[in-house]
């Protein structure tokens, strides 16, 4: 359910603390996931630092996968607040659907790719079970999909940030304020 705020822009409604906290935690996790996989390129293959960055990429990516489900439950249980003009609602809905799809598909593709490659799936001291049997051809295809979606993720995150800034500075509709932590 979405609640549209047309008359009371000054009332300062906002998402709940859980939704706000998860939003910013997911941003930090996604930034760390991307940073780990990009920074690994600066180190020689097989080096401890490169392997450590890859392991952190896997573990943080799987953390996104766990937290996205909590975030979806929180979103399902809390009505959405929107002071936005009508024409912005459907692009926002499509953008959010794409972001949630990304946060589910990327870690799942990574887990499948590691499984198909016959590698361990590390998760903070645990070794998760493989989802598929080793298969070299499947590994290559899954890695390609994962990388393509990773590039799309840069664009989606950038568009999401740009939309928030447009709402704040062009439309001046208060949308960005809904996701900012409240000051006491």
* Average pLDDT, 10 consecutive residues per value, the chain (184 residues): 43 70 95 98 97 98 97 80 71 92 98 97 96 97 98 97 92 84 71
Angle, helices 17-39/136-166, rounded to nearest 10 degrees: 130
Residue 182 DSSP one-character state: P
pTM of the model: 0.86
**What is the predicted pLDDT for the residue at 83?**
61
Dist CA 77 CA 34 (whole Å): 30
**What is the predicted pLDDT for the residue at 3?**
44
Dist CA 86 CA 111 (whole Å): 39
**What is the predicted pLDDT for the residue at 11?**
44
Distance spanning both ends of the chain, measured CA to CA: 28
**What is the predicted pLDDT for the residue at 78?**
73
**What is the predicted pLDDT for the residue at 87?**
80
How many other CB atoms are there within 10 angstroms of residue 68's CB atom? 21
C-alpha distance from residue 2 to each of 117, 124, 144 (Å)? 43, 37, 37
Nearest one of 179, 153, 166 to 85, comparing CA atoms: 166
Dist CA 114 CA 108 (whole Å): 10
**What is the predicted pLDDT for the residue at 158?**
96
136 bridge partner residues: none
């Amino acid at each position: 359910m979405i609640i549209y705020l047309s008359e009371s822009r000054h009332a300062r409604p906002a998402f709940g603390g859980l939704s706000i906290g998860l939003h910013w935690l997911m941003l930090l996790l996604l930034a760390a996931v991307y940073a780990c996989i990009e920074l690994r390129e600066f180190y020689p293959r097989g080096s401890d630092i490169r392997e450590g960055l890859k392991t952190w990429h896997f573990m943080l990516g799987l953390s996104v996968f766990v937290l996205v489900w909590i975030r979806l439950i929180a979103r399902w249980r809390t009505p959405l607040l929107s002071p936005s003009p009508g024409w912005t609602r459907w692009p926002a809905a499509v953008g959010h659907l794409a972001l949630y799809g990304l946060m589910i598909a990327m870690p799942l593709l990574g887990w499948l790719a590691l499984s198909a490659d016959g590698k361990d799936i590390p998760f903070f001291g645990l070794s998760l079970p493989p989802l598929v049997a080793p298969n070299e051809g499947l590994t290559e295809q899954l890695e390609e999909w994962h990388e393509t979606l990773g590039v799309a993720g840069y664009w989606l995150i950038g568009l999401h940030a740009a939309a928030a800034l447009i709402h704040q500075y062009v439309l001046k509709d208060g949308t960005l304020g809904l996701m900012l932590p409240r000051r006491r």
